[in-house]
A and B are shown apart, each in its own frame.
Chain A
Amino acid sequence: MEAFSMLAQLTGDEEKAAQAASSAGFAYGLAAIGPGIGIGYLVGKSVEAMARQPEAAGMVRTTMFLGIAFTEALALIGFVVFILIGL
């Protein structure tokens, strides 16, 4: 309730800045969830593959590492949007 009363006291520019900051934080949070799920799925399947076929582990590890890095790029794009509009 205190936060709401503080928000009500903000002037036009301050309110815009507060809205931009909260939108940026929300966008970054959303952008980090997707890659988190993606990396979890990717590594889980890779671990399963490596446990089944240890002789193919080198190939699986290579593609897994690149997959992790590509998935992480989505989170980095979200982070860049966050620093550009909210930081």
Chain B
Amino acid sequence: MSQTPAPMLTRLDGPATEVSISRDLVRRGLIVAPVLVAICGVLWGLDGVWSSVYAIALVLVNFALAAAIVATTARISLGLMMGGVLFGYLIRLGLIFLAVFLVRDAAWISLPALGATIIVTHLGLLLWELKYVAISLAHPGLKPPAHPAKTARS
């Protein structure tokens, strides 16, 4: 019977995959940002534009912070990574609350636009990323080739 190695002593020195995922999410987020901002501008006016920009920034910073916590703590130990993720979740929720609480009475904020953009950006980017990650993880042979023409010839 195999024994599980102690998670407190195990550390991961390999490449931090979550950092590359988060970088990819930020890149995709910046691509779709003008579309979201335009939609919010049409629905809620100029306040909607500023609120959606703020919400997109919040979501992208949240992704980047989550990835940084996992990548940093995994290099030290898996036990610390678990603690880091759990306390990181609380800290990040607190930071989002603080970021919204500080601007809630500002003249340029539209809370419906802010809320809608937070949910749509977070879930939309994850689903978009999941499509590529799921293809490359579950069926490596199905991963889209970099040069389709060369692959077809060979």
Contacts and interface: CB of A to CB of B under 8 A. Distances in A.
B108 to A, nearest CB: 16
Nearest to B101: A87
A77 to B, nearest CB: 6
Interface in A44-87: 44, 47-48, 50-52, 54, 57-59, 61-66, 68-70, 72-73, 75-77, 79-80, 83-84, 87
A86 B49 CA distance: 23
Contact of B10 (A51, A64, A77, A87): A51
A54 B12 contact: yes
A61 B70 CA distance: 9
A59 B2 contact: no
Nearest to A38: B89
A36 B89 contact: yes
A52 B3 CA distance: 8
A7 to B, nearest CB: 24
A32 interface: yes
Interface of A: 32, 35-36, 39-40, 43-44, 47-48, 50-52, 54, 57-59, 61-66, 68-70, 72-73, 75-77, 79-80, 83-84, 87
Q: What 5 pairs between A and B have smallest CB-CB spacing?
A: A80-B115, A65-B18, A47-B78, A62-B17, A51-B7
